[in-house]
Amino acid sequence: MELQSIKNRFGIIGNATELNYALTVATQVANTDLTVLIFGESGVGKEAFSHIIHSLSARKHNPFIAVNCGAIPEGTIDSELFGHEKGSFTGAVDSRKGYFETVNGGTIFLDEIGELPLGTQARLLRVLEAGEFIRVGSSKVQKTDVRVIAATNKDLLQLTDRGKFREDLYYRLSTVPIRVPSLRDRKEDIPLLFRKFAVDFAERYKTSPVQLDEDAKNLLINYSWPGNVRELKNIAEQISVLSEDKLISMSQLSRFIPENTGNRLPMVVPTANGHAPNDFSNEREILYKLFFDMKKDVTELKKMFLEILKNPALAADTHNAFAHEMKELNPQEHYGSGMPSSQYSAQPVVIHNNGNNNIHQHEVVEESLSIVDKEKELIVKALKKHKGKRKDASSDLGISERTLYRKLKEYDIND
Protein backbone atom coordinates (compact mmCIF):
# COMPACT_ATOMS: atom_id res chain seq x y z
CA MET A 1 0.00 0.00 0.00
CA GLU A 2 1.31 3.46 -0.90
CA LEU A 3 2.42 5.74 1.92
CA GLN A 4 0.01 8.55 0.99
CA SER A 5 -3.00 6.24 0.98
CA ILE A 6 -2.03 5.04 4.47
CA LYS A 7 -1.83 8.66 5.65
CA ASN A 8 -5.26 9.39 4.17
CA ARG A 9 -6.79 6.27 5.70
CA PHE A 10 -5.49 6.88 9.21
CA GLY A 11 -5.51 10.68 9.23
CA ILE A 12 -1.73 11.10 9.37
CA ILE A 13 -0.67 14.66 8.45
CA GLY A 14 2.90 15.50 7.44
CA ASN A 15 5.73 14.77 5.05
CA ALA A 16 8.76 14.85 7.34
CA THR A 17 11.43 12.29 6.49
CA GLU A 18 11.47 10.71 9.97
CA LEU A 19 7.68 10.41 9.99
CA ASN A 20 7.65 8.75 6.56
CA TYR A 21 10.34 6.30 7.69
CA ALA A 22 8.38 5.36 10.82
CA LEU A 23 5.26 4.75 8.73
CA THR A 24 7.24 2.65 6.26
CA VAL A 25 8.59 0.41 9.05
CA ALA A 26 5.08 0.07 10.53
CA THR A 27 3.59 -1.09 7.21
CA GLN A 28 6.43 -3.53 6.57
CA VAL A 29 6.17 -5.18 10.00
CA ALA A 30 2.35 -5.15 10.12
CA ASN A 31 1.80 -8.45 8.32
CA THR A 32 4.10 -10.36 10.68
CA ASP A 33 3.66 -11.44 14.30
CA LEU A 34 6.82 -9.71 15.48
CA THR A 35 6.68 -7.70 18.69
CA VAL A 36 7.01 -3.95 18.10
CA LEU A 37 8.28 -1.27 20.50
CA ILE A 38 7.11 2.26 19.63
CA PHE A 39 9.01 5.01 21.42
CA GLY A 40 8.77 8.77 21.37
CA GLU A 41 7.80 11.73 23.52
CA SER A 42 4.37 12.12 25.05
CA GLY A 43 1.80 13.45 22.59
CA VAL A 44 3.48 12.39 19.34
CA GLY A 45 0.76 9.86 18.41
CA LYS A 46 2.27 6.49 19.30
CA GLU A 47 -1.15 4.85 19.68
CA ALA A 48 -2.02 5.74 16.06
CA PHE A 49 0.88 3.56 14.92
CA SER A 50 -0.46 0.62 16.91
CA HIS A 51 -3.79 0.94 15.09
CA ILE A 52 -2.00 1.08 11.73
CA ILE A 53 -0.03 -2.10 12.49
CA HIS A 54 -3.12 -4.00 13.67
CA SER A 55 -5.34 -2.82 10.80
CA LEU A 56 -2.81 -3.88 8.16
CA SER A 57 -2.12 -7.28 9.78
CA ALA A 58 -3.76 -10.68 9.34
CA ARG A 59 -5.33 -10.13 12.80
CA LYS A 60 -7.32 -7.08 11.67
CA HIS A 61 -10.70 -8.88 12.10
CA ASN A 62 -9.80 -10.04 15.62
CA PRO A 63 -9.94 -7.99 18.83
CA PHE A 64 -7.65 -5.02 19.51
CA ILE A 65 -7.27 -3.45 22.95
CA ALA A 66 -5.15 -0.55 24.17
CA VAL A 67 -4.00 -0.69 27.80
CA ASN A 68 -2.41 2.26 29.60
CA CYS A 69 -0.05 0.51 32.03
CA GLY A 70 0.55 3.72 33.97
CA ALA A 71 -3.15 4.18 34.73
CA ILE A 72 -3.72 0.78 36.41
CA PRO A 73 -2.79 0.44 40.11
CA GLU A 74 0.11 -1.91 40.81
CA GLY A 75 -2.04 -4.16 42.98
CA THR A 76 -4.57 -4.90 40.23
CA ILE A 77 -2.56 -4.84 37.01
CA ASP A 78 -1.79 -8.59 37.10
CA SER A 79 -5.50 -9.30 37.41
CA GLU A 80 -6.31 -6.91 34.54
CA LEU A 81 -3.79 -8.44 32.18
CA PHE A 82 -3.90 -12.14 33.14
CA GLY A 83 -7.18 -12.56 35.02
CA HIS A 84 -7.82 -14.04 38.47
CA GLU A 85 -9.63 -16.89 40.21
CA LYS A 86 -12.49 -16.49 42.65
CA GLY A 87 -11.24 -15.76 46.16
CA SER A 88 -7.64 -15.12 45.05
CA PHE A 89 -7.68 -11.76 46.83
CA THR A 90 -10.07 -9.53 48.76
CA GLY A 91 -12.89 -8.49 46.44
CA ALA A 92 -12.40 -11.35 43.98
CA VAL A 93 -15.98 -12.59 44.27
CA ASP A 94 -15.90 -14.24 40.84
CA SER A 95 -13.35 -15.56 38.39
CA ARG A 96 -12.36 -13.07 35.72
CA LYS A 97 -10.64 -13.27 32.37
CA GLY A 98 -7.71 -10.96 31.71
CA TYR A 99 -6.91 -9.06 28.53
CA PHE A 100 -4.50 -11.73 27.25
CA GLU A 101 -7.37 -14.22 27.43
CA THR A 102 -10.13 -12.04 25.96
CA VAL A 103 -7.97 -10.71 23.11
CA ASN A 104 -6.76 -14.17 22.10
CA GLY A 105 -6.00 -14.11 18.37
CA GLY A 106 -5.84 -10.32 18.28
CA THR A 107 -3.49 -7.49 19.26
CA ILE A 108 -2.81 -5.84 22.62
CA PHE A 109 -1.23 -2.40 22.79
CA LEU A 110 0.63 -1.79 26.06
CA ASP A 111 1.16 1.95 26.40
CA GLU A 112 3.63 3.33 28.97
CA ILE A 113 5.26 -0.09 29.25
CA GLY A 114 7.98 1.39 31.47
CA GLU A 115 5.44 1.74 34.30
CA LEU A 116 4.94 -2.03 34.66
CA PRO A 117 5.98 -3.48 38.05
CA LEU A 118 8.88 -5.96 37.92
CA GLY A 119 6.64 -8.89 38.87
CA THR A 120 4.27 -8.12 36.00
CA GLN A 121 7.26 -7.78 33.67
CA ALA A 122 8.24 -11.38 34.46
CA ARG A 123 4.70 -12.60 33.63
CA LEU A 124 4.71 -10.62 30.37
CA LEU A 125 8.08 -12.08 29.39
CA ARG A 126 6.63 -15.59 29.72
CA VAL A 127 3.73 -14.64 27.42
CA LEU A 128 6.15 -13.28 24.81
CA GLU A 129 8.50 -16.26 24.94
CA ALA A 130 6.10 -19.18 25.37
CA GLY A 131 2.59 -17.79 24.80
CA GLU A 132 1.67 -18.90 28.34
CA PHE A 133 0.18 -17.20 31.38
CA ILE A 134 -1.33 -18.12 34.74
CA ARG A 135 -4.29 -16.36 36.32
CA VAL A 136 -3.79 -14.75 39.71
CA GLY A 137 -4.59 -17.34 42.36
CA SER A 138 -4.40 -20.28 39.92
CA SER A 139 -1.79 -22.91 39.13
CA LYS A 140 -3.16 -23.81 35.72
CA VAL A 141 -1.07 -22.74 32.74
CA GLN A 142 -3.11 -21.30 29.87
CA LYS A 143 -2.15 -20.61 26.28
CA THR A 144 -2.76 -17.41 24.35
CA ASP A 145 -2.00 -16.16 20.84
CA VAL A 146 -1.74 -12.39 21.18
CA ARG A 147 0.48 -9.99 19.32
CA VAL A 148 2.05 -7.40 21.63
CA ILE A 149 2.77 -3.82 20.59
CA ALA A 150 4.37 -1.73 23.33
CA ALA A 151 5.04 1.99 23.60
CA THR A 152 7.04 4.21 25.94
CA ASN A 153 8.17 7.79 26.34
CA LYS A 154 11.01 6.74 28.66
CA ASP A 155 14.52 5.45 28.04
CA LEU A 156 14.03 1.76 28.87
CA LEU A 157 17.76 1.01 28.70
CA GLN A 158 18.34 3.65 31.37
CA LEU A 159 15.62 2.00 33.46
CA THR A 160 17.37 -1.35 33.09
CA ASP A 161 20.59 0.19 34.43
CA ARG A 162 18.65 1.39 37.48
CA GLY A 163 17.01 -1.99 38.02
CA LYS A 164 13.53 -0.67 37.15
CA PHE A 165 13.06 -2.66 33.94
CA ARG A 166 14.10 -6.19 32.96
CA GLU A 167 16.84 -6.21 30.34
CA ASP A 168 15.62 -9.51 28.83
CA LEU A 169 12.11 -8.07 28.48
CA TYR A 170 13.47 -4.95 26.79
CA TYR A 171 15.25 -6.95 24.09
CA ARG A 172 12.21 -9.21 23.68
CA LEU A 173 9.91 -6.22 23.19
CA SER A 174 12.15 -4.28 20.83
CA THR A 175 12.28 -6.91 18.10
CA VAL A 176 11.27 -4.10 15.74
CA PRO A 177 11.70 -0.59 17.23
CA ILE A 178 9.82 2.35 15.71
CA ARG A 179 10.71 5.91 16.69
CA VAL A 180 7.94 8.48 16.26
CA PRO A 181 9.58 11.91 15.83
CA SER A 182 8.71 14.85 18.07
CA LEU A 183 6.92 17.84 16.57
CA ARG A 184 10.01 20.08 16.79
CA ASP A 185 11.81 17.51 14.60
CA ARG A 186 9.21 17.93 11.84
CA LYS A 187 8.81 21.72 11.72
CA GLU A 188 7.58 21.67 8.11
CA ASP A 189 4.50 19.74 9.25
CA ILE A 190 3.42 22.23 11.94
CA PRO A 191 1.44 24.64 9.66
CA LEU A 192 -0.24 21.66 7.96
CA LEU A 193 -1.33 20.19 11.28
CA PHE A 194 -2.59 23.54 12.57
CA ARG A 195 -4.69 24.05 9.45
CA LYS A 196 -6.11 20.52 9.76
CA PHE A 197 -7.13 21.06 13.38
CA ALA A 198 -8.59 24.50 12.62
CA VAL A 199 -10.66 23.15 9.70
CA ASP A 200 -11.89 20.16 11.74
CA PHE A 201 -13.02 22.52 14.51
CA ALA A 202 -14.75 24.86 12.04
CA GLU A 203 -16.63 21.95 10.40
CA ARG A 204 -17.72 20.62 13.78
CA TYR A 205 -19.17 23.97 14.89
CA LYS A 206 -20.14 25.28 11.43
CA THR A 207 -17.90 28.34 11.40
CA SER A 208 -15.01 29.69 9.32
CA PRO A 209 -11.55 28.29 10.12
CA VAL A 210 -8.89 30.61 11.53
CA GLN A 211 -5.73 31.27 9.51
CA LEU A 212 -2.24 32.51 10.39
CA ASP A 213 -0.28 35.33 8.77
CA GLU A 214 3.40 34.75 7.94
CA ASP A 215 4.79 36.10 11.22
CA ALA A 216 2.36 33.97 13.19
CA LYS A 217 3.40 30.90 11.19
CA ASN A 218 7.06 31.57 12.00
CA LEU A 219 6.22 31.87 15.70
CA LEU A 220 4.29 28.60 15.55
CA ILE A 221 7.15 26.82 13.76
CA ASN A 222 9.87 28.05 16.13
CA TYR A 223 8.01 27.13 19.32
CA SER A 224 9.51 24.04 21.04
CA TRP A 225 6.19 22.11 21.47
CA PRO A 226 6.94 20.09 24.61
CA GLY A 227 3.41 18.62 24.38
CA ASN A 228 3.88 17.79 20.67
CA VAL A 229 0.81 17.18 18.46
CA ARG A 230 -1.55 17.06 21.42
CA GLU A 231 -0.47 20.54 22.52
CA LEU A 232 -0.75 21.91 18.97
CA LYS A 233 -4.31 20.63 18.68
CA ASN A 234 -5.25 22.23 22.01
CA ILE A 235 -3.83 25.61 20.95
CA ALA A 236 -5.58 25.45 17.56
CA GLU A 237 -8.90 24.85 19.29
CA GLN A 238 -8.28 27.60 21.85
CA ILE A 239 -7.61 30.12 19.09
CA SER A 240 -10.68 28.95 17.15
CA VAL A 241 -12.87 29.56 20.20
CA LEU A 242 -11.37 32.69 21.74
CA SER A 243 -10.11 34.73 18.79
CA GLU A 244 -12.50 37.30 17.30
CA ASP A 245 -10.45 37.64 14.09
CA LYS A 246 -10.12 34.85 11.56
CA LEU A 247 -6.66 36.00 10.42
CA ILE A 248 -4.34 35.56 13.39
CA SER A 249 -1.31 37.83 13.79
CA MET A 250 1.87 37.03 15.71
CA SER A 251 0.84 39.23 18.64
CA GLN A 252 -2.53 37.48 18.85
CA LEU A 253 -0.94 34.04 18.62
CA SER A 254 1.64 34.86 21.30
CA ARG A 255 -1.16 35.13 23.87
CA PHE A 256 -1.78 31.40 23.45
CA ILE A 257 1.88 30.28 23.36
CA PRO A 258 3.44 29.68 26.81
CA GLU A 259 6.42 31.92 27.57
CA ASN A 260 9.96 30.92 28.57
CA THR A 261 9.54 27.32 27.39
CA GLY A 262 13.15 27.22 26.25
CA ASN A 263 14.40 27.40 29.83
CA ARG A 264 14.24 23.83 31.13
CA LEU A 265 16.43 24.53 34.18
CA PRO A 266 14.95 23.79 37.60
CA MET A 267 13.49 26.80 39.38
CA VAL A 268 13.57 27.74 43.04
CA VAL A 269 10.00 27.39 44.31
CA PRO A 270 8.99 29.57 47.28
CA THR A 271 7.82 27.77 50.40
CA ALA A 272 4.59 28.41 52.25
CA ASN A 273 6.04 31.43 54.09
CA GLY A 274 7.06 33.06 50.82
CA HIS A 275 10.81 32.40 51.18
CA ALA A 276 12.90 30.31 48.83
CA PRO A 277 14.24 27.04 50.22
CA ASN A 278 17.92 26.56 51.06
CA ASP A 279 18.30 23.55 48.72
CA PHE A 280 19.56 25.05 45.45
CA SER A 281 19.62 22.30 42.84
CA ASN A 282 20.78 24.71 40.15
CA GLU A 283 24.53 25.28 40.17
CA ARG A 284 24.15 28.80 38.85
CA GLU A 285 21.93 29.67 41.81
CA ILE A 286 24.60 28.26 44.14
CA LEU A 287 27.28 30.48 42.61
CA TYR A 288 25.07 33.56 42.86
CA LYS A 289 24.37 32.81 46.51
CA LEU A 290 28.06 32.32 47.29
CA PHE A 291 28.98 35.51 45.45
CA PHE A 292 26.52 37.72 47.29
CA ASP A 293 27.34 36.13 50.65
CA MET A 294 31.03 36.68 49.96
CA LYS A 295 30.45 40.30 48.98
CA LYS A 296 28.55 40.84 52.22
CA ASP A 297 31.42 39.29 54.22
CA VAL A 298 33.98 41.56 52.54
CA THR A 299 31.90 44.63 53.36
CA GLU A 300 31.66 43.58 57.00
CA LEU A 301 35.44 43.03 57.12
CA LYS A 302 36.04 46.53 55.83
CA LYS A 303 33.81 47.97 58.54
CA MET A 304 35.59 45.89 61.19
CA PHE A 305 39.06 47.12 60.18
CA LEU A 306 37.88 50.71 60.14
CA GLU A 307 36.62 50.27 63.70
CA ILE A 308 39.97 48.74 64.74
CA LEU A 309 41.84 51.68 63.22
CA LYS A 310 39.71 54.08 65.21
CA ASN A 311 39.96 52.02 68.44
CA PRO A 312 43.04 49.71 68.63
CA ALA A 313 41.68 48.11 71.82
CA LEU A 314 39.12 46.29 69.73
CA ALA A 315 41.85 44.26 67.99
CA ALA A 316 42.42 41.89 70.91
CA ASP A 317 38.69 41.21 71.35
CA THR A 318 38.29 40.61 67.64
CA HIS A 319 41.16 38.12 67.57
CA ASN A 320 39.85 36.21 70.58
CA ALA A 321 36.46 35.80 68.88
CA PHE A 322 38.21 34.69 65.70
CA ALA A 323 40.32 32.13 67.54
CA HIS A 324 37.24 30.73 69.30
CA GLU A 325 35.41 30.28 66.01
CA MET A 326 38.38 28.58 64.35
CA LYS A 327 38.72 26.27 67.36
CA GLU A 328 35.12 25.13 66.88
CA LEU A 329 35.72 24.40 63.20
CA ASN A 330 38.94 22.48 63.85
CA PRO A 331 39.51 21.43 67.49
CA GLN A 332 42.85 19.79 66.59
CA GLU A 333 44.49 23.07 65.62
CA HIS A 334 45.88 25.48 68.22
CA TYR A 335 45.18 29.18 67.96
CA GLY A 336 47.02 31.27 70.49
CA SER A 337 46.07 34.58 72.02
CA GLY A 338 47.31 37.96 70.92
CA MET A 339 47.21 39.40 67.44
CA PRO A 340 46.46 36.95 64.59
CA SER A 341 49.42 35.36 62.88
CA SER A 342 50.08 35.97 59.20
CA GLN A 343 48.91 32.49 58.24
CA TYR A 344 45.26 33.28 58.91
CA SER A 345 45.12 37.05 59.00
CA ALA A 346 43.09 39.01 56.50
CA GLN A 347 44.56 41.08 53.70
CA PRO A 348 46.86 43.83 55.03
CA VAL A 349 45.67 47.30 55.80
CA VAL A 350 48.07 49.87 54.28
CA ILE A 351 48.27 52.99 56.45
CA HIS A 352 49.63 56.33 55.22
CA ASN A 353 50.60 58.50 58.20
CA ASN A 354 52.81 61.09 56.51
CA GLY A 355 55.56 60.64 59.09
CA ASN A 356 53.58 61.25 62.29
CA ASN A 357 51.32 59.33 64.64
CA ASN A 358 48.07 60.88 63.40
CA ILE A 359 46.39 58.77 60.76
CA HIS A 360 45.39 60.97 57.84
CA GLN A 361 44.66 58.30 55.26
CA HIS A 362 44.21 54.53 55.14
CA GLU A 363 43.56 52.04 52.35
CA VAL A 364 42.02 48.58 52.66
CA VAL A 365 43.52 46.14 50.19
CA GLU A 366 40.65 43.86 49.08
CA GLU A 367 41.01 40.11 49.19
CA SER A 368 40.55 37.86 46.15
CA LEU A 369 36.97 37.58 44.91
CA SER A 370 37.46 34.26 43.13
CA ILE A 371 34.18 32.29 43.42
CA VAL A 372 36.01 28.98 42.91
CA ASP A 373 38.46 29.66 45.78
CA LYS A 374 35.69 30.79 48.11
CA GLU A 375 33.48 27.84 47.23
CA LYS A 376 36.32 25.38 47.92
CA GLU A 377 37.15 27.15 51.20
CA LEU A 378 33.51 27.05 52.36
CA ILE A 379 33.20 23.36 51.53
CA VAL A 380 36.36 22.52 53.51
CA LYS A 381 35.14 24.57 56.49
CA ALA A 382 31.71 22.95 56.43
CA LEU A 383 33.21 19.45 56.35
CA LYS A 384 35.48 20.27 59.27
CA LYS A 385 32.62 21.81 61.21
CA HIS A 386 30.46 18.70 60.79
CA LYS A 387 33.37 16.25 61.21
CA GLY A 388 33.17 14.94 57.64
CA LYS A 389 29.42 14.28 57.63
CA ARG A 390 28.45 15.14 54.05
CA LYS A 391 24.73 15.29 54.67
CA ASP A 392 25.07 17.89 57.45
CA ALA A 393 27.71 19.82 55.51
CA SER A 394 25.59 20.00 52.35
CA SER A 395 22.60 21.18 54.39
CA ASP A 396 24.71 23.91 55.99
CA LEU A 397 26.02 25.00 52.58
CA GLY A 398 22.53 25.09 51.10
CA ILE A 399 23.26 22.53 48.36
CA SER A 400 22.23 18.94 47.71
CA GLU A 401 24.40 16.06 48.90
CA ARG A 402 24.87 14.96 45.29
CA THR A 403 26.18 18.41 44.32
CA LEU A 404 28.56 18.36 47.30
CA TYR A 405 29.89 14.94 46.22
CA ARG A 406 30.53 16.29 42.71
CA LYS A 407 32.30 19.37 44.10
CA LEU A 408 34.55 17.18 46.26
CA LYS A 409 35.68 15.30 43.17
CA GLU A 410 36.02 18.50 41.11
CA TYR A 411 38.22 20.27 43.70
CA ASP A 412 40.03 17.05 44.76
CA ILE A 413 39.00 17.50 48.39
CA ASN A 414 39.59 14.53 50.68
CA ASP A 415 37.02 14.57 53.47
Cβ–Cβ < 8 Å for 408, 394: no
Residues 79 and 206 in one domain: no
Question: If you write DSSP's letter for every residue of 211-226 in order, what string do you get?
Answer: EE-HHHHHHHHHS--T
Residue 273 resides in a domain: no
Write down which residue in 181, 201, 226 finishes a domain. Answer: 181
Q: Does 272 map to a domain? A: no
User: 120 and 30 in one domain?
Assistant: yes
For residue 101, the domain's CATH number is 3.40.50.300
Claim to verify: residue 53 and residue 117 sit in the same structural domain: yes
Which DSSP helix (H) or strand (E) runs through 307?
Answer: helix 283-310
State the distance between the two ends of the chain, measured CA to CA, in whole angstroms.
67
pTM of the predicted structure, to 2 decimals:
0.61
How many domains does the chain fold into?
Answer: 3
Q: Which of 154, 181, 208 is the last residue of a domain?
A: 181
Domain boundary among 149, 181, 213: 181
Question: Can you tell me the distance from the alpha carbon of 207 to that of 240, in angstroms, rounded to the nearest whole number?
Answer: 9
Q: Which of 54, 181, 184, 165 is nearest to 112 (CA)?
A: 165
125, 194: one domain: no
Q: Residue 53 in contact with residue 25, Cβ under 8 Å?
A: no
**Does residue 167 lie in a domain region?**
yes
CATH of the domain at 212: 1.10.8.60
Same structural domain for residues 19 and 150? yes
The answer to whether position 301 is within a domain reads yes
Q: Are residues 110 and 166 located together in one domain of the fold? A: yes
User: What's residue 244's pLDDT?
Assistant: 86
Spatial distance between the Cα atoms of 188 and 248, rounded to a whole number of angstroms: 19
Same domain? 144 vs 168: yes
Indicate whether 127 and 228 sit together in one domain: no
Q: With contact defined as beta carbons under 8 Å apart, do 153 and 40 qualify?
A: yes
pLDDT in tens, the chain (415 residues): 689 999 999 999 999 999 999 999 999 999 999 999 999 999 999 999 999 999 999 999 999 999 999 999 988 999 999 999 988 888 888 899 999 999 999 999 999 999 999 999 999 999 999 999 999 999 999 999 999 999 999 999 999 999 999 999 999 999 999 999 999 999 999 999 999 999 999 999 899 999 999 999 999 999 999 999 999 999 999 999 998 899 999 999 999 998 754 444 333 434 444 444 444 444 545 555 565 567 667 777 767 667 666 666 655 555 565 555 555 555 555 544 444 444 444 454 444 545 554 544 545 445 555 677 778 888 888 888 888 888 888 788 878 877 887 788 777 887 6
pLDDT of residue 343: 41
CA dist., res. 379 & res. 368, Å (int):
17
Instruction: With respect to residue 319, please indicate whether it lies within any of the assigned structural domains.
Output: yes
Whether residue 24 is contained in a domain is answered as: yes
CA angle 384, 386, 388 (to 5 degrees): 65
Report if residue 266 sits inside a domain: no
pLDDT for position 346: 44
Sequence-distant (≥ 6) Cβ neighbours of residue 248 within 8 angstroms: 210, 211, 212, 213, 216, 239
Are residues 129 and 42 part of one domain?
yes
Supply the pLDDT for residue 156: 95
Tell me if 101 sits within 8 A of 83, measured CB to CB: yes
Do 164 and 79 belong to one domain? yes
Domain membership of residue 261 (yes or no) is: no
Same-domain status, 157 and 198: no
The pLDDT of residue 151: 97
In a shared domain, residues 104 and 18:
yes
Task: State which residues form the domain around 193.
Answer: 184-254
